[in-house]
């Protein structure tokens, strides 16, 4: 008889235990998602004093649904090359939700890069996005550094795709005899750009010119993938 009552009490406890575990499991699964912060879409956002607070969103307000048009999702901003008449012999045209309203809330932006022979896109990073780059024409040398200082470099031709992971410093060099053109998609509507050299030197600095020369020499070295030996811009 004692065994019977013990089993009954155990069964009742199990009936309470199972739904309790289920509830805890659901909380663990869904609470992190609902309580986590949205990724920032600007560099900094300190809290305004209470008397100065006005409406400011992490992004942009949406159009009223009744006013949305098909033209909101079309752009011609990437149909032509930018100005390549500069010391870098390159141009990068970034299109974000600011220029292309249809990108708002989609977590996407686009870019077109044009590089003349012996031209470069100096080392830079995107703090809020990874970049997937498609080679539309020409030949380029691309590379990025991971947080351990390892170099991942490849020579790419027309039709090939390369990925620059989020926040990592990367660069592009024209490796051919004609103009190279690439198109990129980034997974943020405001990826941000941090130019490593521009943050420290003016664009007409001898240091920047020296870096360009060393980068072009770097592309000619034909280093194997992931090699960090003999970096030509090491001072």
Q: Is 131 annotated as a binding residue?
A: yes
- What is the chain's alpha carbon radius of gyration, rounded to the nearest angstrom? 26
Q: Is 124 annotated as a binding residue?
A: yes
Query: H/E element holding 4?
Result: helix 2-35
d(CA 173, CA 180): 9
**Cα 23 to chain centroid, rounded:** 37
**Cα 159 to chain centroid, rounded:** 21
Q: Count other Cβ atoms within 10 Å, centred on residue 111.
A: 20
Query: 152: number of CA atoms within 13 Å, CB side?
Result: 12
Q: Count other Cβ atoms within 10 Å, centred on residue 8.
A: 10
Q: Is 126 annotated as a binding residue?
A: yes
d(CA 192, CA 128): 6
Handedness of CA 77, 71, 40, 163 (dihedral sign): negative
- Closest-CA residue to 112 (of 199, 177, 41, 172): 172
Q: Is 170 annotated as a binding residue?
A: yes
The binding site for oxalate consists of 126, 131
The binding site consists of 124, 126, 131, 170
The binding site for Mn(2+) consists of 124, 126, 131, 170
């Amino acid at each position: 008889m004692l065994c019977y009552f013990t089993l009954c009490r155990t069964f009742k406890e199990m009936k309470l235990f199972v739904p309790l575990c289920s509830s805890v499991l659901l909380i663990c699964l869904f609470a992190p998602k609902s309580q986590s912060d949205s990724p920032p879409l600007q560099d900094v956002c300190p809290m305004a004093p209470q008397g100065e607070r006005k409406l400011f969103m992490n992004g942009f307000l949406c159009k009223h649904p009744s006013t949305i048009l098909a033209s909101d999702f079309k752009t011609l901003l990437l149909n032509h090359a930018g100005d390549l008449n500069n010391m870098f012999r390159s141009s990068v045209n970034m299109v974000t939700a600011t220029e292309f309203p249809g990108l708002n809330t989609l977590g996407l932006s686009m870019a077109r890069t044009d590089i003349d022979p012996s031209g470069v896109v100096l080392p830079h990073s995107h703090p809020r996005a990874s970049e997937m780059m498609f080679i539309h024409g020409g030949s380029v040398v691309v590379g990025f550094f991971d947080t351990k200082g390892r170099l991942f470099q490849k020579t790419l031709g027309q039709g090939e795709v390369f990925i620059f992971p989020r926040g990592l410093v990367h660069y592009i060099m024209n490796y051919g005899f004609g103009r190279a053109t690439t198109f990129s998609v980034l997974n943020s509507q405001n990826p941000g750009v941090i130019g490593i050299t521009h943050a420290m030197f003016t664009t007409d600095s001898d240091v920047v010119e020296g870096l360009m020369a060393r980068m072009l020499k770097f592309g000619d070295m034909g280093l194997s993938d992931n090699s960090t030996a003999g970096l030509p811009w090491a001072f």
